[in-house]
Structure 1
Amino acid sequence: MLLIYLIIINLIGFIVMGVDKRRARKQKWRIPESRIWFIAIIGGAPGAMIAMNYFRHKTKHTSFRVFLPLLVFVHIGLFVWYEFFLS
């Protein structure tokens, strides 16, 4: 069940970053960074980080360049801990 959740939330993170990049190019209303961070914090950090590099979006923001990869490592650690110690 956890794996299905993580797949879905990471797809959402990837899509949200892509949509925000498209809106930025067209100078339309943008997705708030707080919403992107919320999705990343609840498990979508790997998807958002892959999208950041794929779309070259938010790569100049220090907060995204530094804390998003850090959050990915935290999520991987939590997943491994959960799988080995709680399953």
Structure 2
Amino acid sequence: MEYFFTYFLLINAITFAVAGSDKYLAVNGKFRIAEKTLFTLAFFGGSVGLLLAMLIFRHKISKGSFIVKFVAILVLQIAWAVVQLSDKI
């Protein structure tokens, strides 16, 4: 369980930093980080970091297609967590 917590903190910190960097790049008209990269990081556990970055940096919050895909990842993760927890009970 300790490794899971460490992984969770690390992947979310990385995701937050990558999303923040993408916002910085967007504001300055530079080469952007692919949405696929952000979704991959979120899928592998960084959804909290991406959500925080979206709220704090106001990044990608008006892009409907991004929100839909992000919510789909969240729903899958919540469903996975419920299944995992129900096996423990």
Identity %: 34
Amino acid in the other structure paired with 1:5? Y
Give the partner amino acid of 1:55.
Answer: F
Compared with structure 1, are the counterparts of its residues 77 and 6 closer, same or farther at alpha carbon in structure 2 (3 Å cutoff)? farther
Higher gyration radius (CA): 2
Name the counterpart of 1:43: 45
2-structure distance, mates of 1:73, 1:61: 19
Per the normalisation by structure 2, the TM-score is 0.79
Matched, 1:67 2:69: yes
**TM-score for both structures, normalised by structure 1:** 0.81
Unaligned segments of structure 2, at least 5 residues: none
Give ranges in structure 1 of 5+ residues lacking alignment: none
CA contact (8 A) 1:21 1:55 kept: yes
Q: Distance in 2 between matches of 1:63 and 1:49?
A: 15
